[in-house]
Chain A
Amino acid sequence: MPRAFSRGFAVRFGFSASLILGASASLLAQAPMVDITPPAGTIAITGGKVLTVSHGTIENGVVLIEGGKISAVGTAASVKVPKGSTVVDAKGMTVYPGIIDSETRLGLSEIASDRMTNDTVEPSDEILPQMHVYDAFHAESEHIPITRFNGITNAIVAPASSDTIPGQDSFIQLAGRDRDSMLMVKDVALAMNFGEEPKRNGRGEGGAAGGASRYPSTRMGEISQMRQALIDVQEYMARSGRPAGGEAGGAAPAAGRGGAGGGTSTLLRNEALVPYLKGEKPVVLGVYDGHDVETAMAFAQEFHLKVILSHVTRGQDVLDKIASYHVPVIVGPIFDLPTANERFDAVYSIPGELQKRGVKVILASYNVSNSRNLPYEAGFAVAYGLPYDEAMKAITLNAAEAFGMGDKLGSLDVGKIANVVIADGDPLDVRTSVKQVYINGVAIPMENRQTKLRDEYWPKK
């Protein structure tokens, strides 16, 4: 580790830093995989500015971690540090819950230009709810330790958005000994996409023309095809009680599946959709333009789906309408460009404008290598009107709640999983460095492929 880094860290953390680094050193050989079995004993993070997210900021606060859970949060005066605790002096530091990125492709894409390292979406059909990203999730991806280095501890992994129903999302923890220990919820939500992107109109990525057009090549086609699929599931559910073994038992007629690539089981497809038609799990509606938002919401209401809206970066005209739906909204990426003849801050200001209207705002990177920049996206939302505390919620508690993890993650509260970050300043500021990340109460080695290259080549003089 270059002196500049290790020294600043050690001075601020006092004696305890060596304990953490010592513990980390034994894990170096194993990175990026980290055993997150909680250590015995108590970790006491003392003296820091504690952003609880759920109940305000505590100056000179104490956070106790025991058995992988948060066991106490409060002022230095109110929380007694048990004897024998590993004390981490966080004086001058900020302590906050691990960041949750509500849409990423982490583990689905390693090197974007190499198809062999990408499993982001199955392009052979449009309606594929039986695709589970956990079947592709590559736990050893180098992007994961790089991302958690900046304080992102959890993420929703979603398929890319070029199908109307590309599959189901997983909720992951960004550390674990193997894939299964990183998957917190295997099928946490269903991805659905509307508008331009899922069209089979022969245009490739970036709108390049040239391919053959097929059904559904318009918005009408997309909606009609999805409507048919959901009606098929309703009929399938009405016939429930039948043994599920009836495979191609006519549950889903091929009619209306114009673009079907064939070979996919209608049984698996129908079964996959059942929890969503029962409203047991959320669907994430990916939609950018205002008029598409209205179309998508009307469709979701038709089938009583439990909705999380996503993107809405060209939804400036329907902000009041969006608020009237009373659903959580993942906005972004906030760095989407305004269209011609919009004011330069037309997208930056959307989170603030929605929050002002009572919407529970969430932010996401929708990315792999830029997931680590999610805190800065939240900072941009603050610069353009989102209150600071709401911006912190947008990348922690609101995300956890929308995906049914609000009792486990998203804030510094007793009983929650000890995903805790210590940084040397405001977490949303680009100048701030994360000093230590805890996942499940385990001090994660603050290293990754990039820090290894840094340390190998750090200028000697």
Chain B
Amino acid sequence: MSPFVPRLASASGAASMILLSAGSAMVAAQSPTAPADLVIKNATVMTASHGTIQHGSVWLHNGKIAGVGTTVSAPAGATVIDATGKYVTPGIIDPHSHSALGDDVNEATSPVTPSMMMIDAFDNRDKALYQALAGGVTSELLLHGSANMIGGQAVVIKNKFGLSKEEMLFPNAPRSIKFASGENPKRVYGTRNQLPSTRMGNFEVMRQSFEDAKVYQREWDAYNERVAKGEKDVRPPHRDLKLEALADILRGKLLVQIHCYRADEFLTEEAIAKEYGFKIRAFHHALEMYKVGGKIAADGTGIATFTDWYGGKYEMWDGIPWNAVMSMREGVRVALKSDSNDHIRRLNQEAGKMVHYGGATEDEAITMVTLNPAWIMGIDDKTGSLDVGKDGDVVIWNMDPLSTYARAEKVYIDGDLFFDSSLPGFGTTHFSGVMHGSGFGAGEDDDDEGGN
């Protein structure tokens, strides 16, 4: 057994028994190579939630963070890594990726496809996952593309490259659904002379969907009420996967992630959300948020934005690299994201640009690629910062991760080492066999707008 057992056993009361059983369950779920106790010491520790600790230590116990500080009270038998001169951060989290979905990113055959489940396209051996892992990425939100006003439901993964598809799913993560707006849907359907081909059409499609969902929801609510009353022989309404997903949005069961660039469209989206009674979790891309940040901050919607992409199309023309910091100063919760198999490999450097463009502090910058994206994905209670009780998703960097020269040296997920750059070959610890090439987003010039 692991060295901590005697210590726990010496403590009194039932609490330690509960801890023990929880602990052993964790051990069972872990790879046999992961030590029960791991201490990374003498590092510059960027916590993402409570500042940076010089000469700090991080203690991982059975896959969870058990201590963070200038000292930690790890047991004597713990595996110790001396990280003198190195930096430690939470794992990088990408709230907008289309990696590992092959060419199946867009079901661009109808502008409303909420029953599409991205997990059905998820290829866990895609090289993009490996390349992201080598860049310190421990979690990703794999989203439907932006062809449709209401796209499909996302997959939330832990980037345990080399494990099975099921083992890479983020346990109990909330469901997210992708919406789009603006040029992509109107281009995709407009070029076919279908609805929507204008922004008016875009939003009308959306409103009509929620009108339909309201009817569906009422039918099911009435049915459930009668069943609850104990009525016998009540026939359930027809179960429609599309309407069910839409009704789940109205019931607040899905985090709504909206691809949206322009300031006017943020306002329209918020108005529609209020009209139908749901919340928007985040605007993605959001290049014009700096124009209306104060208003959107009041609605509690975050953003997942590019650092400095602009100009690829008209709705990106007012994109400025100060957007993230300006929006943050207006009170918006800001995450940076890749939307690209290239950028996902270097989100830490993208965060570094925020020091340059607008004067973010290093702590603020690192939060944009860790804790804030975790919030957007609804997993900030489990990962995204170095806090006791959270998952052991940790990266050791050769230097300040915001520097151009930073390289991820070791990447831990749930306390288990998944990438070590000092190893020969790929540097992976759990992967064997053959990687697959990437489909969508494989090129350096891709942007999700894809839609086609």
Chain A residues within 8 Å of B, Cβ to Cβ: 4, 110-114, 142-143, 206, 333, 335-341, 343-345, 367-369, 372-373, 376, 379-380, 382-384, 428-433, 450-451, 453-454, 457-459, 461
Given contacts A428-B404, A459-B329, whether A335 and B356 have CB atoms under 8 Å apart is: no
List the A residue with the shortest CB-CB distance to B442.
A337
Closest to A343 in B: B426
The total of interchain contacts (Cβ-Cβ below 8 angstroms) comes to: 123
CB neighbours of A382 from chain B (8 A): 404-405
Let me know if A114 and B313 touch, CB within 8 A. yes
Cα separation A340 to B125 with both chains bound (whole Å): 10
A383 contacts B406, C-beta separation under 8 Å: yes
B443 touches A340 (CB 8 A): no
Residue of B128, B406, B444 touching A336 (CB-CB under 8 A): B444
Q: Which residues of B contact A4 (CB under 8 A)?
A: 358-359
The answer to whether A457 and B314 have CB atoms under 8 Å apart is: no
Q: Name the contact of B313 in the complex, choosing from A113, A368, A380 (C-beta under 8 A).
A: A113
Inter-chain contact A337/B341, CB cutoff 8 Å:
yes
- Name A379's contact: one of B341, B345, B358, B405 (CB within 8 Å): B405
User: Would you call A454 and B426 a contact (CB within 8 A)?
Assistant: no
Question: Given B314, B349, B426, B445, which contacts A344 in the complex, CB threshold below 8 Å?
Answer: B426
Given contacts A341-B434, A341-B435, contact A373 B308 (CB under 8 A): yes
**CB of B254, distance to nearest CB on chain A (Å):** 30
| Contact between chains at A429 and B290 (CB < 8 Å) | no
Bound Cα distance from A451 to B318, whole angstroms: 11
By the criterion CB–CB under 8 Å, are A429 and B404 in contact? yes
**Contact of B321 with A340 in the complex, beta carbons under 8 Å:** no
Instruction: State whether B425 touches A343 (Cβ < 8 A).
Output: yes
| Cα-based distance from A4 to B425 in the complex (angstroms) | 46
A337-B131, A454-B326 are known contacts. Are A344 and B427 too (CB-CB below 8 A)? yes
Q: Are B313 and A376 in contact (CB under 8 A)?
A: no
- By a CB distance below 8 angstroms, the chain B residues around A454 are 290, 320, 322, 326
Chain A residues within 8 Å of B312, by CB? 111-113, 369
Known contacts A333-B444, A337-B438, A459-B293: A344-B130 contact under CB 8 Å: yes
Taken together as a complex, chains A and B put the C-alpha atoms of A110 and B130 apart, in Å, by 34
- Knowing A206-B443, A450-B321, say if A430 contacts B349 (CB, 8 Å): yes
CB-based contact B437/A369 at 8 Å: no
Cα A373 to Cα B326 in complex, Å, equals: 21
Knowing A344-B130, A380-B404, A459-B329, the reply to whether A430 touches B310 (Cβ < 8 A) is: no
In the complex, the chain A residue whose C-beta lies closest to that of B348 is A430
Q: List 22 A-B contacts (CB under 8 A).
A: A111-B311, A111-B313, A335-B342, A335-B444, A337-B442, A337-B444, A341-B127, A341-B435, A343-B426, A368-B311, A369-B310, A383-B406, A384-B407, A428-B404, A430-B402, A430-B404, A450-B321, A453-B290, A454-B322, A454-B326, A457-B326, A459-B329
B406 touches A337 (CB 8 A): no
Query: What per-residue 1/0 map shows which CB atoms of B181-222 lie under 8 Å from chain A?
Result: 001000000000000000000000000000000000000000
Contact A430 B127 (CB under 8 A): no
Chain A residues lying within 8 Å of B359, measured Cβ to Cβ, are 4
Task: List B contacts of A142 (CB < 8 A).
Answer: 311
Partner of B437, one of A336, A339, A384: A339
Instruction: Report the minimal beta-carbon distance from B262 to chain A, rounded to whole angstroms.
Output: 13
Q: Are A429 and B318 in contact (CB under 8 A)?
A: no
Question: Is the pair B342, A431 in contact by a Cβ cutoff of 8 Å?
Answer: no
Cα distance, A428 to B293, chains bound together (Å): 31
Given A340-B437, A369-B312: A113 touches B183 (CB 8 Å cut-off): yes
Contact A453 B426 (CB under 8 A): no
Among A337, A372, A450: residue with most chain B CB under 10 A: A337
Closest to B419 in A: A344
Cα(A432)–Cα(B352), bound, Å: 9
Question: B131 touches which one: A338, A379, A461 (CB < 8 A)?
Answer: A338
Q: What are the residues of chain A within 8 A of B313 when measuring CB–CB?
A: 111-114
Q: Is the CB of A369 within 8 A of B291?
A: no
Residues in A with CB closer than 8 Å to B427 are 343-344
B353 within 8 A of A: yes
Q: Could you list 4 further interchain pairs (A-B, Cβ under 8 angstroms) beyond the known A380-B346, A454-B322, A457-B326?
A: A4-B358, A113-B312, A337-B341, A343-B426
Q: Closest 8 A-B residue pairs measured CB to CB? A: A379-B404, A344-B134, A113-B313, A430-B352, A431-B355, A450-B320, A383-B405, A340-B435
User: Closest chain A residue to B343 by CB distance?
Assistant: A335
Contact pick for B290, options A345, A383, A457, CB 8 Å = A457
The answer to the question of B330 belonging to the interface, with a C-beta cut-off of 8 Å to chain A, is yes
- Would A431 and B293 count as touching, CB distance under 8 A? no
Which B residues touch A345, using CB under 8 A?
134
Which residues of B119-151 are within 8 A (CB) of A? Answer: 127-128, 130-131, 134-135
Q: Is B436 on the interface with A (CB-CB < 8 A)? A: yes
Q: Does B403 contact A (CB under 8 A)?
A: yes
Set of chain A residues within 8 Å of B183, measured between Cβ atoms? 113
In contact, A432 and B330 (Cβ under 8 angstroms): no
Chain A residues with CB under 8 A of B321: 450
- Of the candidates B341, B404, B435, the one having the most CB atoms from chain A within 10 angstroms of its own CB is B404
When distances are taken between beta carbons in the complex, the residues of chain B under 8 Å from A367 are 445
User: In the bound complex, how far is the Cα of B349 from the Cα of A384, in angstroms?
Assistant: 15
> Of B130, B317, B326, B443, which contacts A459 at CB under 8 A?
B326
Q: Which of A143, A379, A459 contacts B311 (CB 8 A)?
A: A143
CA distance A339 to B438 in the complex (A): 9
Minimum CB–CB distance from B307 to chain A (whole Å) comes to: 9
The reply to whether B404 and A340 contact each other, CB–CB distance below 8 Å, is: no
Q: Kindly list chain A residues whose C-beta atoms are within 8 Å of the C-beta of B127.
A: 337-341
Closest Cβ–Cβ distance, residue B125 to chain A (whole Å): 9
Whether A430 contacts B426 by the Cβ 8 Å rule is no
Q: Once the chains bind, are B403 and A431 in contact (CB under 8 Å)?
A: yes
Task: Give the contacting residue for A432; candidates B308, B349, B356, B426; CB below 8 A.
Answer: B356
The chain B residue with its CB closest to the CB of A388 is: B405
Q: Shortest Cβ distance from B419 into chain A, in angstroms?
A: 9
